[in-house]
Structures are given as structure tokens and as C-alpha cells.
């Protein structure tokens, strides 16, 4: 790998780390991933040996709406940090509503991450730069 590629990759990773640290990144990622099993299971036909399991029922429309909302709330947490409390509460409510309406919340594979992601979004606070020590080593440096 050429040196300029390594430098570019290192710079890109550093910039992504800074971007990630200034927003509720993990809350958004977990919330986004919570919507995928909720969307998937009502439309999937799972086979185990010769037995086919189909979870299709009237939960299909509710699963689609709840799953898409959770998938949209994830990037909303990344790009609109001011809406994190709304998105976190909405993710928690959608995850709880998915239990009775969407095949036990995607067999709990959607409800549990949705609850965790929504809770992380509600608990996240923006980093405070006032606690950082001065760069010049002044009287308030630690």
C-alpha cells in the first residue's frame, strides 16, 4: 500500500472518528438495525429442513411501517442531533408497539435493539469542549 494511500486512509478515519464523536452514532446505528428484522420477517419464508415457516399475517403492513420508521430514525439521529430526544422516544415507542403488531417485534430481534438504541439516543449529550485543558499549558492546564 503506497504511503499516500495510508495517509489518506488515516486522515479519513480520523475525520470519521471526529464526526462520530459529535453525534449519537451508536444509537443511530442500533436503531437503524432494529428496523431491519421487523421489516424482514413478515415477508420471509424460513426453511428448516423440509419445514417452511411463514410469519406472514396481518402484521405485514404494521411491520413495514414500524420498520421503515425505525430505519429512518437512525440517520435522523446522525444528522439532526437536536431531534435526538424525539427520535429516541419515538424509537422506544415503535419498538414497544412492534411487540404485538409485528410478529413479536421481529422475534425480539427488532424490539431489543430498538429499545437499546432509543435509550442511548435519550441519554446522549453533546461533547462539552469547555472541560478540555488549554493547549498552551496555561495556569488551568492539568
pLDDT, tens only, 35-55: 999 888 777 777 778 887 666
Question: Looking at residue 83, what is its pLDDT?
Answer: 92
At residue 3, the pLDDT reads 86
pLDDT at res. 84: 93
- Sign of the four-CA dihedral 58, 63, 65, 66: positive
- In the predicted model, is pLDDT for residue 103 greater than 90? no
Nearest partner of 58 among 98, 110, 103, 95, judged by Cα: 103
SS3 54: strand
Pinpoint the alpha helices (H) of 42-110.
Answer: 59-79, 84-101, 103-107
**pLDDT tens digits, one per residue of 78-99:** 999 899 999 999 999 999 999 8
Q: Which residues pair with 52 in a beta bridge?
A: 47
For residue 51, the cross-strand partners are: 48
pLDDT single digits (tens) 106-130: 788 999 999 999 999 999 998 876 5
Q: What was the pLDDT predicted at 56?
A: 62
| The predicted structure's pLDDT at residue 75 | 95
CA 41 – CA 53 distance, rounded (Å) = 10
Average pLDDT, the chain: 86
Report the predicted TM-score, pTM, of the whole model to 2 decimal places.
0.79
Amino acid at each position: 500500500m503506497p504511503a499516500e494511500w495510508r495517509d489518506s486512509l488515516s486522515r479519513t478515519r480520523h475525520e470519521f472518528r471526529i464526526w462520530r464523536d459529535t453525534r449519537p452514532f451508536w444509537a443511530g446505528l442500533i436503531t437503524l438495525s432494529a428496523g431491519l428484522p421487523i421489516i424482514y420477517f413478515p415477508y420471509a419464508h424460513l426453511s428448516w429442513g423440509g419445514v417452511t415457516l411463514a410469519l406472514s399475517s396481518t402484521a405485514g403492513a404494521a411491520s413495514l411501517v414500524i420498520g421503515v420508521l425505525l430505519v429512518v430514525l437512525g440517520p435522523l439521529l446522525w444528522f439532526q442531533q437536536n431531534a435526538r430526544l424525539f427520535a429516541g422516544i419515538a424509537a422506544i415507542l415503535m419498538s414497544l408497539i412492534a411487540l404485538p403488531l409485528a410478529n413479536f417485534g421481529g422475534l425480539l430481534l427488532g424490539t431489543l435493539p430498538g429499545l437499546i438504541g432509543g435509550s442511548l439516543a435519550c441519554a446522549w449529550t453533546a461533547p462539552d469542549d469547555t472541560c478540555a485543558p488549554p493547549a498552551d499549558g496555561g495556569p488551568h492546564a492539568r
